[in-house]
Structure 1
């Protein structure tokens, strides 16, 4: 519990609901889990905001604007502390792969053997890990964070990619 008092963490995160056009119950469940896990345990330090004297814990708002992820950061006092922009084109392929393997995995849950489900789950986690490393590279020089936090952020990026 003491870790939750640390200033270099995300206290609150929200997604731009206007960006998200449609979500299945499975995706909604993934979104809720990622948000819950992020808010309970994470490490996040936006470098430019910290250099400009802002202190966390941080509140984030994630949106997709003109094909870019916009992470609007507010400091512990509720003041806007800047926006971190990431081009999403670099994530298109891995997001597509992740959606495809997740689709196969969720279909397999209904009819496949335990071994097939385990194989698909391992593939799903492997793609998620690769995407997380890619996200960590994209955040380098902008945000100090850990693997688990970046992994959950990638899940939220996926949610923002869903189109009707």
Structure 2
């Protein structure tokens, strides 16, 4: 019996925003983390592992999933995720800026907010995929990290 998991993730660079070397690095790390440990079960698929190709088309994030006996693309409007992605990027930038200082209280407060937004984004993404692809909370967090890296501008 095959596992329901992602074995690979590919990004379509032709459809994604241009990235700096730092953002490309963030994307590679996010893909590595996602592939390393995930639970990914497309509706109607009998078993994996699966390959995921992500792209954007007409303002939608497209998940093109294929496996041993399965192939399907899902397009998701990003409108419901836009605010949490922007807020998460902003708080991450603040977090990394504060890390350079020594105010432990401020670091902890921003980190709590960052984790809260990360969880909010993960749950929203999980809900957007409901009925299409079943993922657990940790996979949703890793996938949200990747989606955020895709939309980050240099």
Using the size of structure 1 for normalisation, the TM-score is 0.85
Measured after TM superposition, the shift of residue 31 of structure 1 is 2.4
1:145 is aligned to 2:135: yes
1:58 — aligned with what?
A: 50
1:85-100 aligned within 5 A: 85-100=75-90
Query: Is 1:11 aligned to 2:7, yes or no?
Result: yes
Report whether the alignment pairs 1:156 with 2:146. yes
| TM-score (norm. length: structure 2) | 0.90
Q: How many residues align?
A: 153
Q: Structure 1 residues 6 and 115 mapped into 2: Cα distance closer, same or farther (>3 Å)?
A: farther
SS of residue matched to 1:56: coil
Go from structure 1 to structure 2 and tell me whether the alpha carbon gap of 1:152 and 1:23 turns closer, same or farther (over 3 Å shift).
farther
**Of residues 122, 129, 134 in structure 1, which corresponds to 2:112?**
122
From the superposition, tell whether residues 112 and 15 of structure 1 become closer, same or farther in structure 2 (CA, over 3 Å). Answer: farther
Q: CA–CA distance in 2 between the matches of 1:114 and 1:29?
A: 27
Structure 2: segments with no counterpart, 5+ residues = none
Cα distance per residue 1:106-160 (max 9 Å; x no partner): 1111124122111111110100001111111111111111011111111111122
CA RMSD of aligned residues (A): 1.9
